[in-house]
């Protein structure tokens, strides 16, 4: 058997962590024949709960799990890792926007960026899930200057999955038949879920649905507000679906995207589609050999242009706020 992929999950004793470590251990991300070494990080008061999670991983008897390292020390958690799922952060409660978490959570990602820089492999692939995910990923990368910027990403795959599921439900087709839904911008209520380039069984979604008012109205707001709707119903934020999306994101990054298909990831903007360079903007990307590239040349109409501008403006504001928080914490 190959040598294990060393994978860190932060916030491993939390809600998302509980589903995520099982999915990684089951082979859903790195493959059913690839052993994994699970490095599980949480804060000192959660070490008891984390021990329980470790007992359960053992009791699952997962063939892929080579070893499990529970710890509250980032130096141990990030040591020589190949992949990181940065989940550990405060979730929002009812009535909050994700950016309300910025002041509390951005400092975590500064400290973890510094630790990744010191202890992780330079090839480490970092997925930030903790909110506000795009801006946390930006800060994390900023404090890890010896790791290439391309190795940091933020999760908008849950939004992509939500968009795909909404279209499938509307058309009464299996979800796998819907392809190439795009999430542009921020993982927030300004995100732009865009199905202008999506297909269902090869046919354009706009033709198949044949209801532009819905696609440009309720469809978009349903996806934008889905996280809040789950909080209102569960009194807790999305966890199972978030863990599944994190696995989908890392699996696409590790294994690549099929020809003709793309996925959405928050990545460093290079100014494509007139977005602000340097913010972590969600774009459609192709992935090959563990390298993503932004899909170029998609036509952007005036409606889409306005949406991209609004979400880009919010990302620039979040970036400026986050920089002030980090500067004040020096
Ligand atoms: N990008 C996305 O699509 C989504 C993002 N999220 C975000 O993911 C984050 C985690 O959500 P849940 O698991 O539901 O929260 P949770 O509160 O159940 O778990 C968070 C865990 O992180 C730990 N933690 C806090 N600070 C830490 C640190 N410095 N180092 C390591 N661990 C630390 C906590 O002790 C806790 O065990 C939240 O910020 C939430 O908003 C949630 C769903 C989707
Ligand atoms: O909306 C939230 O803050 C909860 C978690 C999340 O980011 C989501 O469900 O999309």
In tens, the pLDDT along 279-324 reads 999 999 999 999 999 999 999 999 999 999 999 999 999 999 999 8
Given a contact cutoff of 8 angstroms between Cβ atoms, the answer to whether 187 and 134 are in contact is yes
* Strands (E) located in the chain: 5-10, 36-41, 65-71, 83-86, 125-128, 152-154, 178-179, 182-184, 192-194, 199-200, 203-204, 263-268, 280-288, 291-294
Residue 1 is predicted with a pLDDT of: 59
The residue whose CA has the least distance to atom 41 of ligand 1 is 91
Encoded tokens for 19: 């589903």
What span, in angstroms and rounded, lies between the C-alpha atoms of 12 and 41?
Answer: 6
Distance CA 301, CA 128 (A): 30
Backbone angles phi, psi at 14, to 5 degrees: -90, -175
pLDDT number for residue 100: 75
* Closest atom, ligand 2, to C-alpha of 230: 9
Q: Average the pLDDT over 92-117 and give the result.
A: 85
3-state SS assignment for residue 5: strand
98 has pLDDT over 70:
no
Amino acid 45: pLDDT: 97
| Spatial distance between the Cα atoms of 149 and 271, rounded to a whole number of angstroms | 15
Helix (H) or strand (E) holding 327: helix 302-328
pLDDT in tens, 41-62: 999 999 999 999 999 999 999 9
Res. 202: pLDDT tops 70: yes
User: Is 242's C-beta closer than 6 angstroms to any atom of ligand 1?
Assistant: yes
Percentage of residues in the chain with pLDDT exceeding 90? 92
From the candidate CATH numbers 2.40.50.1020, 3.40.50.720, 3.30.460.10, 3.40.50.300, the one assigned to the domain spanning 5-154: 3.40.50.720
Q: Which has more pLDDT, 102 or 125?
A: 125
The per-residue pLDDT for 178 is: 98
108 lines ligand 1 (CB under 6 A): yes
CA of 227 to the centre of ligand 2 (A): 4
- On the question of pLDDT at 2 being above 80, the answer is no
pLDDT per position as a tens digit, 5-46: 999 999 999 999 999 999 999 999 999 999 999 999 999 999
Other Cβ atoms closer than 10 A to 306 = 10
10 lines ligand 1 (CB under 6 A): yes
Residue nearest to atom 7 of ligand 2 (CA): 227
Name which CATH class applies to 157-316: alpha beta
164, 132, 150, 27 alpha-carbon torsion, rounded to 10° = -60
5-154 and 157-316 share one fold: no
pLDDT reading at 99 higher than 70: no
Question: Do the Cβ atoms of 85 and 129 come closer than 8 Å?
Answer: yes
What pLDDT does residue 117 have? 98
Lowest-pLDDT choice from 101-115, 131-145, 162-176 = 101-115
- DSSP lists the bridge partners of residue 36 as 5, 65
Ligand 2 centroid – CA 308 distance (Å): 20
pLDDT band per the 50, 70, 90 thresholds, residue 92: confident
Which helix (H) or strand (E) segment holds residue 153: the answer is strand 152-154
How much is the mean pLDDT over the chain? 96
Q: Do the bridges between strand 291-294 and strand 280-288 make them parallel or antiparallel, or are there none, so unpaired?
A: antiparallel
Distance from residue 237's CA to the centre of ligand 2 (Å): 6
Task: With beta carbons less than 8 A apart as the criterion, state whether 191 and 183 touch.
Answer: yes
From the CA of 228, give the closest atom in ligand 2. 1
The answer to whether 39 is a known catalytic residue is: no
List binding-site positions: 11-17, 42, 92, 98, 105, 129-131, 162
DSSP 296: P
| From 39, 187, 249, 286, the catalytic residue | 187
What are the sequence ranges of the domains in the chain?
5-154, 157-316
Asked if residue 97 has pLDDT above 80, the reply is no
For the stretch 155-183, pLDDT in tens is 999 999 999 999 999 999 999 999 999 99
**For position 165, what pLDDT does the model report?**
98
What 3-state class would DSSP assign to 315?
helix
User: Rounded CA gap, 101 and 96, in Å?
Assistant: 8
CB 82 within 8 A of CB 47: no
One DSSP character per residue, 180-194 reads --EEEB-SSTT-EEE
């Amino acid at each position: 058997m190959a040598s294990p992929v060393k994978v860190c999950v932060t916030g491993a004793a939390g809600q998302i962590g509980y589903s995520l470590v099982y999915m990684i251990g089951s082979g859903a991300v790195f493959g059913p024949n690839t052993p994994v070494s699970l490095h599980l990080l949480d804060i000192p008061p959660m070490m008891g709960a984390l021990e329980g999670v470790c007992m359960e991983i053992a009791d699952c008897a997962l063939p892929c799990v080579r070893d499990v390292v529970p710890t509250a020390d980032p130096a141990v958690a990030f040591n020589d890792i190949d992949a990181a799922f940065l989940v550990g952060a405060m979730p929002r409660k009812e009535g909050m926007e994700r950016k309300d978490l910025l002041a509390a959570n951005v400092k975590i990602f500064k400290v973890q960026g510094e630790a990744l820089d010191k202890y992780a492999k330079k090839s480490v692939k970092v997925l930030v899930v903790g909110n506000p995910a795009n801006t946390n990923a930006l800060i994390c990368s900023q404090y890890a200057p010896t790791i290439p910027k391309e190795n940091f990403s933020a999760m908008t795959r849950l939004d992509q999955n939500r968009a795909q599921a909404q279209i499938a439900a509307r058309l009464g087709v299996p979800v796998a038949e819907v392809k190439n839904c795009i999430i542009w911008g921020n993982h927030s209520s300004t995100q732009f879920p865009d199905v202008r380039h999506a297909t269902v069984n090869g046919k354009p979604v706009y033709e198949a649905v044949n209801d532009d008012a819905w696609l440009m109205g309720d469809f978009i707001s349903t996806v934008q507000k889905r996280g809040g709707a789950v909080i209102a119903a569960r009194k807790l934020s999305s966890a199972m679906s978030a863990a599944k999306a994190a696995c989908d994101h890392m699996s696409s990054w590790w294994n690549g995207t099929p020809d003709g298909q793309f996925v959405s990831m928050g990545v460093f903007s290079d100014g494509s589609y007139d977005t602000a360079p340097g913010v972590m903007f969600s774009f459609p990307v192709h992935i090959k050999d563990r390298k993503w590239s932004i899909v170029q040349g998609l036509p952007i109409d005036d409606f889409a242009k306005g949406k991209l501008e609004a979400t880009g403006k919010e990302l620039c504001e979040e970036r400026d706020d986050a920089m002030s928080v980090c500067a004040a914490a020096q």
